[in-house]
Amino acid sequence: MSRIIVARPLTRENFAPFGDVIETDGAHHYPINGGRCERYHDLAKVEAAGPNARVLISLFKATPYEFPLKLTMVERHPLGSQAFVPLSPRPFVVVVCPDAPDGPGRPEAFLTQPGQGVNYPRGRWHGVLTPFGDSQDFVVVDRGGDGQNLEEAYFPEPYEIHLPGGD
């Protein structure tokens, strides 16, 4: 089995088994504030479970990764969802894994369109925040509170993630 994975375009349809795509294209929306603002409503399901759970909003300043990317580890958050919304119109790479009987399954990689974000539901195996080219800032919505909300899994042999059309 090949350990090379080429990132494919991120769409609501192809990402649905892994979480929510956060974008305005095709989203339910309506005017507010006297028609001076358009609200794109209910773009992702925010989850926060466990003792003293609360929803957090944070800013992340992420440095770029080189491609092809050697993927050695994925993580998941069993007590809460985690959303990443870029603050600049730059794409980034999203890596997710289905559940397998003994941990994460074979990774899948997606390349966002400029301005798209993602939301991982509770317990979804995913790669770390992966911008490329330049540093990038993100709004992150996730869970705070008591309890262990981070699990990491290391692959016995790394996968190699490529951007479409070469790196």
Angle at 148 between CA 140 and CA 96, to 5 degrees: 50
Q: What's the total number of domains in the chain?
A: 1
Share of the chain above pLDDT 70, in %: 99
User: What is the arithmetic mean of pLDDT over 61-88?
Assistant: 97
CA pair distance 93, 109, nearest whole angstrom: 7
pTM for the model stands at: 0.93
User: What is the arithmetic mean of pLDDT over 111-132?
Assistant: 97
* Three-class secondary structure of residue 23 per DSSP: coil
pLDDT of residue 165: 83
Q: What domain range is 29 assigned to?
A: 4-162
User: What is the arithmetic mean of pLDDT over 2-25?
Assistant: 95
pLDDT of residue 1: 65
CATH no. for residue 43? 2.60.120.480
Is residue 166 over pLDDT 90? no
Inside any domain, residue 167: no
129 with 92: CB under 8 angstroms? yes
Inside any domain, residue 34: yes
- pLDDT, tens digit (0-9, with 9 covering 90-100), for 140-161: 999 999 999 999 999 999 999 9
Dihedral sign (CA 29, 30, 35, 39): negative
Inside any domain, residue 89: yes
pLDDT of residue 167: 65
The overall average pLDDT reported for the chain is 95
